Amino acid sequence: AAADTAKNELSFMPPVAVRGDIARCMFYMVLRYDGTETNTYDLQLTNCPCSTRYALGKLATLLQWHAEDPVDEAERARNERICSDYQNNRNPFVDHPEIVAKLWPADFSDGLCSMDCPAAPSGGGDEEEVERGKGPCVSPGDVAIVGFNSDGIDTIGLVALSPLPAGAQISVTDNAWTGSEWRATEGIAVFTVGADAVPAGSVLAWKADGSSSGAGGTWATEGVSPSLTATGEALLVYQQCEGKSEPNFVFGLDFSPSGWAAAGDVLTSTNSLAPPALVSAGLALALPHKDNYVYSGSTSGTRAALIGNITQVAGWTGDNTQEMVLPAGPFVVEAVAPDGSGGGQCRRLTVEQQRSIQAKGFSPVLCSR
């Protein structure tokens, strides 16, 4: 980066000489677009853009830029040209920069923050970028969504239906999948397994207020946090595995009014195509639209039985006003005989089989016969 710029893995700083110009452009955008017109959004400036939908930037930083880089003749001339040659309107923050302090006084509080953003970059050079989304692969259905809230504090609950290997990274996003790439307008939360495997049955809860939980690993965000809208979303659990360029899709859940998008549909911030790998495996669940849902079915059974229950609409409880409490866990993921024999019937495991299963992170369930 140039000597008067800076960046880290989450944000960047433009050159000093244009920071005030950029701030005043963003002040204009927020003033102009309030979501009252068709196909527009209520744009906002906030001190927590990482957790606020349609937030353009960090307000405190932009106010600092506005003060440190005041309007100059070049900016006034550009404002005049834009008005006379293109838009027929002006940026009032260039003509009257003093109104910024009236709209956003020193004691202004937006009342929107639920979490702090990472620190802004400092200094003049590049900082090392963090590589996310790498690690051992799991199989589709090894992790499933078991609850979410789009009202109040955004929350997404996952359950591990197989042991998650050390170092694995499990991502969940409200980004739309186009069939070949991410639309990349939304957020991503990433759970990274620690030095030891996460046991099957563990519940991993991401929360936008920073109180995420999940024994045996840590949560982080990639770029910005997911921001669930009550009008509906499509959520995808996936990995970017070592040595693979395409996402490894693990589970999908849609709670938008129209369900999963079809080929040729216009993709927005609230819908997505269902990855074919999930559709063919029966792992792309579509729930009737409600703001909040929790899986309320059985929490014990074989991996296959639990997946079958979780992917049935009848196993879910939803509400448009009441926030759901995620399953506390752990789920009991019952083991089956390693040789798969028994025609689906329960059979007694030998001591050696029990020890083998325990060594892989499962808890064997013994049969009565």
- In the sheet that holds 143-149, the strands lie side by side as 203-207, 155-160, 143-149, 292-295, 316-319
pLDDT digits (tens, 9 = 90+) for 109-168: 555 454 445 455 544 333 233 355 467 889 999 999 999 999 999 999 999 999 999 999
Our CA angle for 245, 247, 248, nearest 5°, is 120
Contact 188, 226 (CB under 8 A): yes
User: Would you say 190 and 221 are in contact if contact means Cβ atoms under 8 Å apart?
Assistant: yes
Q: Is residue 113 within 8 Å of residue 53, measured between CB atoms?
A: no
Identify which of 45-59, 231-245, 297-311, 322-336 has the greatest average pLDDT: 297-311
Least confident of 73-77, 333-337, 348-352: 348-352
pLDDT per residue over 280-332, tens digit each? 999 999 999 999 999 999 999 999 999 999 999 999 999 999 999 999 889 99
Give residue 267's pLDDT.
Answer: 84
Residue 188's pLDDT band (cuts 50, 70, 90)? very high
Containing 205, the helix (H) or strand (E) segment is strand 203-207
What is the model's pLDDT at position 124?
38
> Which residue type does 353 have?
Q
Residues 6+ apart with CB under 8 A from 181: none
pLDDT (0 to 100) of residue 125: 35
Contact between 41 and 33 under an 8 Å Cβ cutoff? The reply is: yes
C-alpha pair distances (Å), 256 with each of 36, 59, 186, 280, 286: 22, 31, 15, 21, 8
